[in-house]
């Protein structure tokens, strides 16, 4: 059988549900918003019963995604926010709906699990926003630091940077030799010899550790050095994360964030608050409404009208309210897996019976 693509799903009439999702479904679209499509498909019987099960099909840009029916139900049982929102799509966003999809009711899947899935995802985004805030406020220079920048020479009751000490004495690090000092983590005796050079302080520019040398007995150290390895490791991680972010970031979103000057990803934080408000709504009403009623408030966050601290405070208040409502809610603990499985079997049987009868 040919590889399943979005085009193949359409050609073989395998699509069961298709809807506009994302900002357009939420009622938060602006002139520059993309159009995201999500949906559900089923596999031909031989494909499903054989070894070629495909749980998901998407296009290259991942803005069109279809979930296989069984995978869709599995994610509904987990109260996955994106999947619950897809099932609860506003009528004007639904592009196609096969009658068999009427078996799936949002009330059968909404449960107390949604506090963990919706709110936990939002909290994760807040943590991510804090990290982004740090990146935007504290950019990391492109020129990468080395071990030498984290080494210090003892100088009486003080210390001086290794590079400064090397320059002062016209030394080069390649002629230096280091020897561990027992019971003193990060401390080294420094030796220097231009005739028979030692191994140097570092062998490679991006080395993770200093280099140790064998020093003849009787040699006298020229100094004592401390290497702050923990600070160097933290820097390496920060450098890697920052420049990976620089390479992957959405330039339009980045410049928008820089223009409003609030030092946070405003679109990300808008959806974080939206998710928390959806969670609050679920436990207050037992329902999930995808289309927001506070478009202007949420777009003001996207526009950067609120301070970073103000948004975090708003999020904290929502989380407190959710906790209170959660304690009072009589919503089911978990979706009924056995019932969902029976519904899935009925749906598949109906679909394959239609195909077998040639309809």
User: pLDDT band at residue 134, thresholds of 50, 70 and 90?
Assistant: low
pLDDT at 131: 57
Query: Has residue 55 got a pLDDT over 60?
Result: yes
Q: Provide the whole-model pTM.
A: 0.67
How far does CA 296 lie from the centroid of its chain?
26
> How far is it, in rounded angstroms, from Cα 54 to Cα 51?
9
What's the token pair of residue 4?
């399943």
Residues 6+ apart with CB under 8 A from 308: 129, 133, 262, 263, 264
Q: What is the pLDDT of residues 12-22, one digit of tens each?
A: 999 999 999 99
Are the beta carbons of 1 and 86 closer than 8 angstroms? Answer: no
How far does CA 179 lie from the centroid of its chain?
43
What's the token pair of residue 112?
């107390």
pLDDT at 53: 85
Query: Has residue 58 got a pLDDT over 50?
Result: yes
> How far is it, in rounded angstroms, from Cα 201 to Cα 219?
17
pLDDT at 255: 52
Query: Has residue 132 got a pLDDT over 70?
Result: no
pLDDT at 261: 47
For the segment 324-344, the average pLDDT, to the nearest whole number, is: 96
Q: What is the pLDDT of residues 75-130, one digit of tens each?
A: 999 999 999 999 999 999 999 999 999 999 999 999 999 999 988 877 777 766 66
For the segment 233-257, the average pLDDT, to the nearest whole number, is: 75
Are the beta carbons of 256 and 218 closer than 8 angstroms? Answer: no
pLDDT at 85: 97
What's the token pair of residue 188?
């080294």
Q: What is the pLDDT of residues 303-329, one digit of tens each?
A: 888 888 888 899 999 999 999 999 999
Nearest residue to 277 (alpha-carbon basis) of 328, 329, 324, 314: 314
Enumerate the domain spans of the chain: 1-109+335-359, 110-139+250-332, 147-232
Q: What is the pLDDT of residues 25-52, one digit of tens each?
A: 999 998 888 899 999 999 988 888 777 7
Q: What is the pLDDT of residues 267-294, one digit of tens each?
A: 888 989 999 999 999 999 999 999 999 9
- HEC profile for the chain? CCCCCHHHHHHCCCEEEEEEECHHHHCCCCCCCCCEEEEEECCCHHHHHCCCCCCEEECCCCCEEEEEHHHHHHHHHCCCHHHHHHHCCCHHHEEEECHHHHHCCHHHCCCCHHHHHHHHHHHHHHHHHHHHHHHHHCCCCCCCCCHHHHEEEEECCEEEEHHHHHHHHCCCHHHEEEEECCCCCCEEEEEECCCCCCCCCCCCCCCCCCCCCCCCCCCCCCEEEEECHHHHHHHHHHHHHHHHHHHHCCHHHHHHHHHHCCCCCHHHHHHHHHHHHHHHHHHHHCCCCCCCCCHHHHHHHHCCCCCHHHHHHHHHHHHHHHHHHHHHCCCCCCCCHHHHHHHHHHHHHHHHHHHHCCC
Q: What is the pLDDT of residues 158-203, one digit of tens each?
A: 999 999 999 999 999 999 999 999 999 999 999 999 988 899 999 9
Kindly indicate whether the domain formed by 1-109+335-359 is annotated with CATH number 2.60.120: no
pLDDT at 258: 47
For the segment 204-211, the average pLDDT, to the nearest whole number, is: 90
């Amino acid at each position: 059988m040919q590889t399943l693509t979005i085009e193949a799903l359409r050609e073989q009439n395998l699509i069961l549900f298709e809807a506009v999702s994302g900002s357009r479904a939420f009622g938060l679209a602006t002139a520059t918003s993309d159009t995201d499509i999500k949906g559900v498909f089923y596999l031909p019987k031989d494909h499903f019963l054989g070894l070629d099960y495909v749980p998901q099909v998407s296009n290259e840009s991942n803005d069109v995604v279809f979930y296989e029916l069984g995978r869709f139900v599995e994610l509904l049982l987990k109260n996955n926010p994106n999947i619950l929102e897809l099932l609860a799509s506003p009528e004007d966003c639904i592009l196609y709906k096969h009658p068999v999809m009427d078996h799936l009711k949002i009330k059968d899947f909404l449960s107390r699990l949604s506090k963990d899935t919706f709110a936990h995802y939002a909290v994760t985004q807040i943590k991510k926003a804090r990290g982004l805030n740090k990146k935007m406020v504290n950019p990391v220079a492109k020129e990468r630091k080395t071990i030498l920048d984290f080494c210090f020479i003892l100088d009486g009751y003080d210390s001086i940077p290794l590079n400064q000490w090397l320059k002062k004495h016209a030394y080069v690090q390649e002629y230096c030799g280091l020897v561990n000092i027992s019971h003193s983590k990060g401390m080294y005796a420094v030796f220097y010899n231009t005739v028979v050079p030692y191994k140097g302080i570092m062998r490679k520019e991006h080395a993770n550790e200093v280099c140790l040398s064998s020093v003849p007995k009787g040699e006298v150290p020229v100094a004592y050095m401390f290497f702050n390895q923990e600070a160097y490791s933290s820097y390496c991680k920060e450098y890697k994360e920052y420049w990976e972010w620089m390479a992957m970031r959405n330039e339009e979103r980045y410049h928008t964030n820089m223009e409003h000057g609030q030092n946070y990803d405003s679109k990300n934080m808008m959806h974080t608050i939206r998710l928390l408000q959806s969670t609050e709504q679920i436990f207050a009403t037992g329902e999930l409404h995808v289309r927001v009623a506070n478009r202007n408030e949420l777009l003001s966050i996207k526009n950067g009208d609120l301070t970073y601290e103000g948004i975090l405070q708003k999020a904290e208040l929502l989380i407190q309210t959710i906790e209170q409502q959660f304690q009072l809610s009589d919503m089911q603990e978990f979706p009924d897996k056995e019932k969902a499985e029976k519904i899935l079997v009925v749906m598949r049987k109906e679909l394959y019976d239609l195909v077998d009868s040639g309809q």
